[in-house]
Copies of this chain bind each other. A is one copy, B any other.
Amino acid sequence: MPTSSAQCAQTVLDVVPAVMRVLRAEMRRHRAPALTVPQFRALVWIEGQPGTSVSQVAEHVGLTRPSASVLVEALVRRRLVTRRPHPTDRRRVTLDLTAGGLAVVQASRERTLAFLAERLGALSDAQRAQVTEALIGLRQSVLAPADES
């Protein structure tokens, strides 16, 4: 009995937001206080793209450039991010995480991973293998045409 695209889409739209809500609630419970979701997303982006710019942060986090500039300013003030001149293009800035910023991101990720691993312990090895394989396929298809970077 094959699964139609419509049926599968229904399941994806049902499960993915539900799991996301649980993840968000878990992260909220543990994240550094007074760190907003966009701020946290900016930290994760900078972690993955060291030396990135304000414009790239704006695009990835989904803000205008002025708002991203203000957000970055707040992260710099809190010693989570460094903002230095770009070596060749003097219009740009070079953003990187401080040791403190990296610690915030990594601690949050590790706590969320531990939480997830505990919940996934309820599944069998075979089920976890199936979930892992299926999610990789899901990612390939859903993110297919336009990847962000």
Known: A120-B8, A122-B141. A136 touches B15 (CB 8 A): yes
Give A22's nearest chain B residue, CB to CB. Answer: B142
Tell me if A88 is interfacial: C-beta within 8 Å of chain B.
Answer: no
Query: With the chains together, A13 CA to B22 CA distance in Å?
Result: 11
* Contact A141 B119, beta carbon cutoff 8 Å: yes
Tell me if A2 is interfacial: C-beta within 8 Å of chain B.
Answer: yes
Tell me if A23 is interfacial: C-beta within 8 Å of chain B.
Answer: yes
Q: Mark A25-53, 1 if CB is under 8 A from B, else 0.
A: 00000000000000000000000000000
* Number of chain A residues whose Cβ lies closer than 8 Å to a Cβ of chain B: 56
Within 8 A of B (CB), among A1-31: 1-23
A139 partner, pick from B3, B10, B19, B130, beta carbons under 8 A: B19
* Contact B3 A129, beta carbon cutoff 8 Å: yes
Number of this chain's copies in the complex: 2
A135 / chain B contacts, CB cutoff of 8 Å: 11-12, 14-16, 131, 134, 138
A4 / chain B contacts, CB cutoff of 8 Å: 117, 128
Give A138's nearest chain B residue, CB to CB. Answer: B131
Closest approach, in angstroms, between the C-beta of A38 and any C-beta of chain B?
13
* Contact B130 A9, beta carbon cutoff 8 Å: no
* Contact A126 B19, beta carbon cutoff 8 Å: no
Kindly list the 6 A-B residue pairs having the minimum CB-CB distance in the complex, ordered from nearest: A2-B125, A134-B134, A9-B116, A5-B117, A3-B129, A9-B117
